[in-house]
A and B are shown apart, each in its own frame.
Chain A
Amino acid sequence: MAGLTPIGRELIGGVPVALEARLGKSVMTIESLLALKNGSVVTLETGLADQAELYLNDALVARGEIVAAGDNYAIRIIELASEI
């Protein structure tokens, strides 16, 4: 019989979570949404100077700037909640 693993920091600490980088929002009508097609322009409420937001389970936990890391997009953290 396999030994039991205690539910402790080690176990919890290994739980995977997903961070999502969001660029911003835009309000449009349903008609506009349904009309989206190749070439349509969706202008976000955020400006170039605004940072991307990092969400963990829909909670905003950090902000950062968009950078390139090799071939991928990446976020360099600029602002972080004091404790996650």
Chain B
Amino acid sequence: MTDQAHTFLPSGTLTNDRVSSVLSEALDIWSSAYFACVRAAVSCVDTTRHSVTEHPFKATSDHVSLSFSDRGQRRLVELALGESLEGKVLREVDRQLLDDFAHRLAADLVGRLDRLLEPHTAGPVLRLELTLDGKPVGNLLVKQQAIVELVRKSLPTKTVTARSPKARTRAVAGLPVTVEAVLGQLELTVEDAKGLAIGDVLILDRTLKEHAAIRITEGPTTVAVGHLVPENGRNTIIVAKSGKELN
């Protein structure tokens, strides 16, 4: 994992609260396993405003890295033991034991977070500050994309509602459609059709009192019927019935 920190927070979408929220369960399980009444939390570090030092004491996994300062490591151990080490004389073997203990705690947290996150090998890294009871103990480095996906999963699924008929109608309202007026039909045999000649009068199935049909071109459905009326030199249909009135 690269230690290159990415500027936080991007566009306000990956908020401090959201990041804390998606990691809180893993942090709670971890803290309750080692501490009594100690609340572990993370907050996002704005690297543009704070200089973040990388601590030498480190626990890393594939996607998460946790580093402690000496003070942070000591705080971790003190909270786990439930007593202060202030003024206590520690032998080298004690120090090694406590270092090992702190390392196990850190490795356990890193492992829990690692299992929580989807693997992402590329992309920028977020720097999170780990606090125990509000006091900083170390820095967590996590792939930003992994956190983003975690946050996204935690968000309520947006319900996609079907667009209302009115909305759909508005969307297509301006589209052009060609309609044609049909005066009528007649049925004849192929033989009769072949025998047609100029001057023949073909009587249609529609009386003078009946309406001509308006239908969408090349479609079988009649959308309106009306009277054929000449107007301003054009053939015009004055609609008599349309839509549901036709049924």
- Interface footprint category on A: 35 or more
Contact A22–B238 (Cβ < 8 Å): no
Q: Which of B197, B199, B202, B235 contacts A23 (CB 8 A)?
A: B235
Q: How many residues of B contact A (CB 8 A)?
A: 60
| Pairwise interchain contact B212-A23, C-beta atoms closer than 8 A | yes
Interface status of B214 (Cβ within 8 A of chain A) = yes
The residue from A37, A49, A76 contacting B199, defined by CB atoms under 8 A apart: A76
For residue A8, give the distance in angstroms from its CB to the closest CB of chain B.
Answer: 12
Q: Tell me if A42 and B179 are in contact (CB < 8 A).
A: yes
B176 near A28: Cβ-Cβ < 8 Å: yes
Interface residues of B in 191-247 (CB under 8 A from A): 191, 193-194, 196-209, 212, 214, 216-218, 223-224, 226, 228, 230-231, 233-243, 245
State A37–B216 Cα separation when bound (angstroms): 16
Chain A neighbourhood of B238, CB < 8 A:
39-42
CB distance from A41 to the nearest CB of B (A): 6
**Bound CA span A13–B208, Å:** 31
Interface hits, B79-109 → A, CB 8 Å: none
> What CA separation (Å) do A67 and B235 show in the bound complex?
14
Chain B neighbourhood of A5, CB < 8 A = none
Give A7-50 as 1s and 0s: 1 = Cβ < 8 Å from B's Cβ atoms: 00000111111111111111111110110111111111011111
A42 in contact with B183 (CB, 8 Å):
no
- Cβ–Cβ contact B178 & A25, under 8 A: yes
Residues in A whose Cβ lies below 8 Å from that of B224? 36, 40, 42
**Complex alpha-carbon distance, A28 and B180, angstroms:** 11
- Contact at A29–B174, with CB atoms within 8 Å? yes
- Is there an interface contact between A76 and B201, defined as CB atoms closer than 8 Å? yes
Question: Do residues B173 and A29 form an inter-chain contact, with CB atoms below 8 A?
Answer: yes
> Is B175 located at the chain interface by the 8 A CB criterion?
yes
A39-78 contacts to B, CB under 8 A, are 39-44, 46-50, 52, 54, 56, 58, 61-62, 64, 66-78
| Interfacial residues, chain B to chain A (CB-CB below 8 A) | 169, 172-191, 193-194, 196-209, 212, 214, 216-218, 223-224, 226, 228, 230-231, 233-243, 245
